[in-house]
Structure 1
Amino acid sequence: MAEFSDQVFDQVRRIPRGKVATYGQIARLVGRPRSARYVGFALHANPAPGSDAASIPCHRVVFKDGGLCRGFAFGGPEVQRAMLEEEGVAFADEEHVDMGACQWDPAEAAGGAPLAGASGEAVPTAPPPGFDWSRELGEL
C-alpha cells in the first residue's frame, strides 16, 4: 500500500489553498476509482499534515457531499473546518463545504487540458453525465 499512499499524497499536494477534493476524486486521479476508502486510510497515516509547502494538506479532502471527516486524524472536524476557513474555503452549512464554489478542478489547473494518467490516458475527474450514484453505491 506504500506505492498507493505515495500516489495519494502526490495528488493531495496538488490541491491548491482555498479548494477541496473528494476522496473519490483522489482515487480516480491515482487510477483506482473504487478506492475512495483506501484514500482515507492513506491520509489517516499522513506523515506530514499541515498547510505549508512541505506538507500533505489532507484537511483539503472531504466527502463527496462536502462533509467534513468526523474522524479527521489531526484534531477532529472542528480543526479541519478551521484550517479550511483559514484558507478561504466557503461552507454551505456547519458541516459541509460549498462544493460548487470550492471543489478543485485539476483540469482547470492544467489549462483546461484533460489530465493524463501514468500511461498517458485521460483521467476522469468527475462521473460521466447520467451517472447513477444510488446504483453505484448499492442503495437501490
Structure 2
Amino acid sequence: MDPTENQCDCTAAPSSPVSGSRATIEYVPVRTIATASQDVLDRVRAIPEGFVRTYGDLSPGAPRFTGTVLRTTTAEVPWWRVVRADGSLAKGARQRALLEAEGVPFAGARVDLRVARIPRDVEPA
C-alpha cells in the first residue's frame, strides 16, 4: 500500500478487551493529543511572573503529561514556573535562579506554594 494513500488523521488504539471476546480497535483523532498539548502550553504561558503552578494543576489527573509536553516542546514557554506538587524543582539550580529572579519565595529548597502557587481552579488573567 502506498503511504500517501492513507489520509486518516488518526491513530489506532486497542480498546480494553472483554474476557472471551475479540479486542476492537478504536480510532483516536491525533488532534486530541495535539489540542491537549497546546492547552498545556497555553496554561504555562498564562502563569504570571512571580508565580508557579504544579504539573498536576496544568493537567489534572495527568501530571506526567505536562512534563512530557514541556520536555518535548520547541515552543518558547516559561517552563521554570512549573514545579512539582511538593514545591521541589525538576531542573534544580537553573530553575531556582530563574524563579528567584522573578521574586518567587522559597522555603528551604522548595517553592513556598502557600504564597507563590496559583490555585488550580483560578485561571490567570
In the alignment, what sits opposite 1:16?
48
Counterpart of 1:64, as a letter, is A
- 1:36 is matched with which residue: 44, 63, 66? 63
Do residues 65 (structure 1) and 80 (structure 2) align? Answer: no
In the alignment, what sits opposite 2:25?
none
Greater C-alpha radius of gyration: 2
Equivalent-residue separation in structure 2 for 1:24 and 1:63 (angstroms): 8
Counterpart of 1:17, as a letter, is E
Structure number with the higher strand fraction is 2
1:92 Cα offset (Å): 0.4
1:103 Cα offset (Å): 0.4
1:21/1:104 contact within 8 Å kept: yes
Q: How many percent of aligned residue pairs carry the same amino acid?
A: 42
TM-score normalised according to structure 1 size: 0.61
Q: Secondary structure at the match of 2:57?
A: helix
Equivalent-residue separation in structure 2 for 1:78 and 1:42 (angstroms): 21
List 4+ stretches of structure 1 deviating above 4 A. none
Which digits, 9 at most, give the CA deviation of each residue in 1:80-104, with x for residues without a partner? Answer: 000000000011012x100011001
Do residues 85 (structure 1) and 100 (structure 2) align? Answer: yes
TM-score normalised according to structure 2 size: 0.67
Which digits, 9 at most, give the CA deviation of each residue in 1:18-44, with x for residues without a partner? Answer: 0000001001xxxxx211111111011
Aligned length: 92
Do residues 100 (structure 1) and 121 (structure 2) align? Answer: no
- 1:6 is matched with which residue: 30, 38, 45? 38
Equivalent-residue separation in structure 2 for 1:60 and 1:109 (angstroms): 13
Gaps of 5+ in 2: 1-32
Computed over aligned residues only, the root mean square deviation of the Cα atoms, in angstroms, reads 1.7
Equivalent-residue separation in structure 2 for 1:46 and 1:108 (angstroms): 22
Counterpart of 2:111, as a letter, is V
> Are the structure 2 counterparts of residues 108 and 68 from structure 1 closer, same or farther at C-alpha, using a change threshold of 3 Å?
same
